[in-house]
Structure 1
Amino acid sequence: MSTNIPSITMTIENYYLLLLSLCCTLVVAQLFVKEKKAAHLLFALVCGSIALATTKKLTQDSLNGYQYLIGMGACVTCNGFWLLARALFREKHAILKRHVVFAIAIAALVIWRQGYLFIDSQLHMNARGFFEWLNIAAYELTLLLSSSVLMLAFWEGCRGFSQSQGQEKAQRVLFLSAYFICVAGTKLIENRFADNREVQEWAVTSAAILIILTAQVLLYWRFSSQRTSTSIRCVESNEPTQTEDDIALQQQVEHFLIEQKGFLKEGLKVADLAQQFNEPEYKISRVIRQNLQARNFSQLVNELRVEHAKVLLQDPAKQHWPVLVVGLESGFASVGPFTRAFKIATGTTPNQFRKQNSQTQVLREAQE
């Protein structure tokens, strides 16, 4: 006696349902995150947008054009993922007003396109002239800007890669690897199977599943490790280690770095201070973390150098100095590390800071 067991075939519709279920699950999962960050909100928006895009595909043959209204909600995909990448890999000034405006502009173009398609499906406008040109222009501009933010998101993983260490470097490798597989893989399949729409859909859906799973892993990995580091620092700060020797060493470090402007010495390391004060390196690092409230020695030195550079950039007598010279005079070895440290601390590049200061100075003089 044989029993017929029905086989389950993974069709593209079933694959869509898998993606939809995954997105909905991950959106709900963000509700249970105790210490929510901007990255968690952005990830939920991206997952929700992908879920709506998938729902549109599943209902395109049954809603008689109303699927385009669902498609309006699928406006936070590439642009949202770019903002998510910034929130993941930038500690300061991750998302500013201009970034939000740029993302909203892309979302508005998507909404316009879907709205136009909905109206056309209901009224059969057969638009010509200006409206047809406007629709085509919006579509082409959306493709251009979406491609741009895809590259910008990839750049967020590359930015600061050489300076990263340990877990952070591993996280960046995971992000860049998954991102490259998704983008390059879908493009290759799109070219290889240009006449097979279903194969392309399989590739795009697989890429979406891979990238959102990678993003969820990174969210947990990065922010759980940050909480662990914070807990360790709290335990360290509560330990009764503030002795007279520590206070004296703090004064020595402050005197050397601030009063003697030791931070201007290129290539300055903790070992240099340890040798100068005849103290172990761990004591210098502990004083910097606990007494001077800095994350590490490099952060403290870079902050002092950036403050010095800001003074030089605002000095009217030094407006002719190139940014490279300002960086070298502030203790940086080259213009690259100077620009990166300056932007992390202020949110602007040295050139932008100088221009903003010059404009402010002109306005003040005009008011006087």
Structure 2
Amino acid sequence: MEVLRYFIFIYCFLGVFIAGGLFFKRRSPANITLAIFIFLFTLEQLDFLYTTSDIVLIYPEYYLLIYPVCLLFGPSLWMHFRYVQHPELKFKYTHLLHALPFLVFVVFLLAPIIKLEGAQRLEYTRINFNSHMMPLNYIRTTHVTFYGLLMLFVIIKNKVFRNNQQGVYLTVVAVIYFLTAVLQSYLTRFADSYRQFVLYFFLASTIVLIAGFVLYTYPEILIQLQKKYFSSSLKTTDRNRIVEKINNVTKDPFVFLNSSLSLNQFCDKIQEKTHHVSQVFSENFSTSFSNYLNLQRVEHAKALLRDRQQDHLKILAVAFESGFNNNVTFNKAFVKCTGITPGKYRKQSKKG
């Protein structure tokens, strides 16, 4: 068991690097929320090593300070789940309501203990472990398990695993999270001491790191898994109908110029289910809805940039006219589709 503790210590360093890499590599909501989850889990690991070693006796003032962070595991991973499933989703302050159980737990249940001095905290938890600390442990594990069940419920209800590559990824993430939550619940109930949680932290960290490495390095595995285990249930007639509807809508480019257009709104317009439309975009158009949306907007922007009568429009104005909310998003999408910036494209079109 002592060897596993060294592995967990190494995993902590890897967790910091991975979280930092995700956060600074591309600051998308999906990356940021996943980075937050990994960082929080790394803190939990460090707290486990600290709590189950003699260091806690030397520096007892830090005891229980990291204890409640697991109540943020579920919310951070749930938001990552939502942002991957719906890339167009915008942050709302109501999303912070997911952190409400964490605040209630800290303010009303943990604060009275935290107010004690470090040595007194250690003594208090030792004396009142069964009467006070075990109920708190059950609250933590119940909260973690709840979010695991929530993600599995959404996956099964909406058949997310059949949608596209992202659907399989979300399924893998949800299953891993739920299984580790079950293991945590089991150990909370039956473990003789907190030191026995070393198996939980080792397995959870190993699974997350391996899965993350495999999914990042070999993304084609997702496609193979999808074809082998999650074969499409969409009938040919339904598929052809949706393709025809998408093509018909595309004939009216102004549909895509609505800057607030989301996948749900698009599906409402063509009166089809969201997961079916996502599946058709992935399998028939070899792209996602958001990429397809950007492509149509870029085509409209190209037409404006070529039109000499629109030379008075600045690049930012062209971006707004094409359905983009800001110049940064417009430039990224334009370069991705054409390989050059909008300004350079305008200059080249004038030479031709």
Q: Which of the numbers 273, 287, 290 marks the counterpart of 2:251?
A: 287
Q: Which of the numbers 13, 22, 33 marks the counterpart of 1:30?
A: 22
Partner amino acid, structure 2, of 1:292: V
Partner amino acid, structure 2, of 1:204: F
Kindly provide the CA deviation profile for residues 124-155 of structure 1, in whole angstroms up to 9, marking residues without a partner as x: 6859xxxx999887665444433322322333
The separation in 1 between residues aligned to 2:48 and 2:242, in whole angstroms, is 62
Question: Is the CA contact 1:52–1:73 (under 8 Å) kept in the aligned structure 2?
Answer: no
Kindly provide the CA deviation profile for residues 294-334 of structure 1, in whole angstroms up to 9, marking residues without a partner as x: 899x96763337xxxxxxxxxxxxxxxxxxxxxxxxx679x
Q: CA RMSD in A?
A: 4.8
* 1:14 CA drift (Å): 0.3
> Residue in 2 aligned with 1:304?
269
Is 1:206 equivalent to 2:197 in the alignment? no
The separation in 2 between residues aligned to 1:202 and 1:13, in whole angstroms, is 9
* 1:20 CA drift (Å): 0.7
Question: Is the CA contact 1:80–1:103 (under 8 Å) kept in the aligned structure 2?
Answer: no
Provide TM-score, normalisation by structure 2: 0.52
Kindly provide the CA deviation profile for residues 180-202 of structure 1, in whole angstroms up to 9, marking residues without a partner as x: 443445556777x7447555421
SS at match of 1:77: helix
Structure 1 unaligned spans of 5+: 1-8, 226-266, 275-280, 306-330, 338-368
The aligned runs of 1:86-235 (5 Å cut-off) are 86-91=82-87, 93=89, 96-110=92-106, 115-120=111-116, 121-123=118-120, 141-161=139-159, 164-186=162-184, 194-195=191-192, 198-211=195-208, 214=211
> Which has the bigger relative contact order, CA under 8 A and spacing at least 6?
2
Is 1:39 equivalent to 2:30 in the alignment? yes
* 1:22 CA drift (Å): 1.8
Identity of aligned residues (%): 10
Identify if the C-alpha distance between structure 1 residues 111 and 214 changes in structure 2 by more than 3 Å, giving closer, same or farther. farther
The separation in 2 between residues aligned to 1:47 and 1:111, in whole angstroms, is 24
The separation in 1 between residues aligned to 2:169 and 2:247, in whole angstroms, is 30
The separation in 1 between residues aligned to 2:184 and 2:142, in whole angstroms, is 17
Question: Is the CA contact 2:44–2:66 (under 8 Å) kept in the aligned structure 1?
Answer: yes
> Residue in 1 aligned with 2:55?
62
Tell me the matched-pair count: 245
Partner amino acid, structure 1, of 2:166: E
Identify if the C-alpha distance between structure 1 residues 67 and 205 changes in structure 2 by more than 3 Å, giving closer, same or farther. farther
Provide TM-score, normalisation by structure 1: 0.50
Question: Is the CA contact 2:47–2:67 (under 8 Å) kept in the aligned structure 1?
Answer: no
Is 1:17 equivalent to 2:17 in the alignment? no
Identify if the C-alpha distance between structure 1 residues 58 and 51 changes in structure 2 by more than 3 Å, giving closer, same or farther. same
Structure 2 unaligned spans of 5+: 223-236, 277-352
The separation in 2 between residues aligned to 1:14 and 1:96, in whole angstroms, is 40
Question: Is the CA contact 1:53–1:71 (under 8 Å) kept in the aligned structure 2?
Answer: yes
Partner amino acid, structure 1, of 2:169: Q
Identify if the C-alpha distance between structure 1 residues 210 and 157 changes in structure 2 by more than 3 Å, giving closer, same or farther. farther
The aligned runs of 1:315-326 (5 Å cut-off) are none
The separation in 1 between residues aligned to 2:97 and 2:151, in whole angstroms, is 16
Question: Is the CA contact 2:144–2:181 (under 8 Å) kept in the aligned structure 1?
Answer: no
Partner amino acid, structure 1, of 2:172: L
Kindly provide the CA deviation profile for residues 184-222 of structure 1, in whole angstroms up to 9, marking residues without a partner as x: 45556777x744755542133311442366467768999
The separation in 2 between residues aligned to 1:99 and 1:221, in whole angstroms, is 32
* 1:29 CA drift (Å): 0.6
Pick the structure with greater CA Rg.
1
Question: Is the CA contact 2:15–2:42 (under 8 Å) kept in the aligned structure 1?
Answer: yes
Structure that is richer in helix per residue: 2
SS at match of 1:148: helix
Partner amino acid, structure 2, of 1:56: D
Identify if the C-alpha distance between structure 1 residues 210 and 107 changes in structure 2 by more than 3 Å, giving closer, same or farther. farther
> Residue in 1 aligned with 2:323?
none
Kindly provide the CA deviation profile for residues 216-262 of structure 1, in whole angstroms up to 9, marking residues without a partner as x: 7768999xx9xxxxxxxxxxxxxxxxxxxxxxxxxxxxxxxxxxxxx
The separation in 1 between residues aligned to 2:167 and 2:183, in whole angstroms, is 23
Identify if the C-alpha distance between structure 1 residues 105 and 169 changes in structure 2 by more than 3 Å, giving closer, same or farther. closer
Partner amino acid, structure 2, of 1:205: F
The separation in 2 between residues aligned to 1:292 and 1:17, in whole angstroms, is 53
